[in-house]
Amino acid sequence: MPRPGRNTYNDQKPPYSYIALTAMAISASREKMLPLSDIYKFIMDKFPFYRQNTQRWQNSLRHNLSFNDCFIKIPRRPDRPGKGSYWALHPFAGDMFENGSFLRRRKRFKLHQQRQHALGLLGEQEANNIKNNLDLAPYLQDESRLRLQQFAANAVTSGYLPYQRDSGQPTIRHQHKHSFSIDNIIGTPSKPSVDILPSPFQMTSIPRFVSQFAPTHGLPHRLMMSYHALHPTDNNLICSLASTFGSLNGQVSPLDYYSSIASLQEPAHPVLLVKPTALSAINLFSKHFGLGKEFHHSPPSETATVNPRPALVHGVDSLLKPAKELVVPKQFNYDHTSGRTETKFVEDDGGT
């Protein structure tokens, strides 16, 4: 994305819409997401025109943030307290501006159009496969089922592939042999497996998506694994338990990518962040946080067993409490013989 440059238009109104100004601010930020106050600040810094009548244009800008699907709201991390959420650009809104110019917008970005586009790209066979393979499909109301399918369709068209059903092995179209390649992170399972999660959510084995996101919006290449779970008493509540892995400063981290998950989040489709979901990493975290439980693989036909212990899902907050004591994995080692992934955690000593 282009930068606005140093043209400040002095006191004249810049020829950019609020959407463009906001996109500029977000794009110029290091993390590709900003709280509202920083968006204001960016605009006022760059364009003196907006140092006046702040109430008026800031109201308009807030309206645009809420109104336009091209902006997504990302909850604050627990270690970054403050007012309001972070705002980012929807990943599918990347080509919103013609020739990358903030001056010209192609067309209004609408989420449902993106979904339809995604569904349209699915062949009938694939769509049926997805539909028929949903273990929980018979239990869902039509609307919920549709939501799940749409989520699946989005997954397929985002450049990553669904679980390959014949071999039980995830396939990746453009497999990278970096330290955070799929092999290095989750290994190559010899059979379909599913992480056991405690109640109240019962994990299903299918669909399971292993996702790869190409670098976009300044975010590095990253992987996402998502699982679907069904609340035992509320059939409308589908959860996608997801985890992303990416490289930050050359180091693999499963902790830093709220945004790529949140970007897929819709109000009607709650996404619970359980980080990380790679079994080895889950167990390391379980140990680290004293959950007193080890999680295992189970055959795909089984759903998760009900566990009376406080659920990991319930314990998301504790998992997400980052902070100082949080361990950051420095590397993943994949053992080709055993097919297991070993994650080495190193205490963060403050960067010495």
Partner DNA sequence: TTCTGTTTACTTGAGC
Partner DNA sequence: GCTCAAGTAAACAGAA
Which parts of this chain interact with DNA (CB under 7 A)? Answer: 16-19, 35-37, 40, 56-57, 59-60, 62-68, 73, 81-85, 87, 105, 107-108
> Residue 342 to residues 183, 292, 329, 330, 333: CA-CA distances in angstroms?
11, 20, 10, 11, 5
159-165-170-174 Cα dihedral, nearest 10 degrees: -40
Residue (of 296, 346, 339, 345) closest to 186 by Cα position: 339
Question: How many whole angstroms separate alpha carbon 199 and alpha carbon 308?
Answer: 7
One-letter amino acid at 221 equals H
- Asked if residues 144 and 238 have their Cβ atoms less than 8 Å apart, the reply is yes
Minimum gap (Å) between residue 248 Cβ and DNA = 24
Minimum gap (Å) between residue 7 Cβ and DNA = 17
Residue 91, helix vs strand vs coil: helix
Region label for 53, one of left (φ > 0), alpha (ψ between -120 and 50) or beta (otherwise) = left
Nearer to DNA, 97 or 201 (CB): 97
Minimum gap (Å) between residue 109 Cβ and DNA = 8
Nearer to DNA, 96 or 312 (CB): 96
Q: Which residues pair with 230 in a beta bridge?
A: 202, 238
Question: How many whole angstroms separate alpha carbon 1 and alpha carbon 28?
Answer: 9
For the chain, what is the radius of gyration of the CA atoms? 21
Burial class (CB in 10 A: 0-12, 13-18, 19+), 42: buried
Question: How many whole angstroms separate alpha carbon 170 and alpha carbon 164?
Answer: 5
One-letter amino acid at 193 equals S
Nearer to DNA, 50 or 245 (CB): 50
Nearer to DNA, 64 or 235 (CB): 64
Minimum gap (Å) between residue 235 Cβ and DNA = 24
Nearer to DNA, 268 or 346 (CB): 268
Minimum gap (Å) between residue 319 Cβ and DNA = 19
Minimum gap (Å) between residue 31 Cβ and DNA = 15
Minimum gap (Å) between residue 107 Cβ and DNA = 5
Question: How many whole angstroms separate alpha carbon 296 and alpha carbon 316?
Answer: 18
Minimum gap (Å) between residue 17 Cβ and DNA = 3
- DSSP secondary structure code for residue 70 in this structure: T
Tokens 């830093």 — which residue? 256
Nearer to DNA, 72 or 196 (CB): 72
Nearer to DNA, 42 or 209 (CB): 42
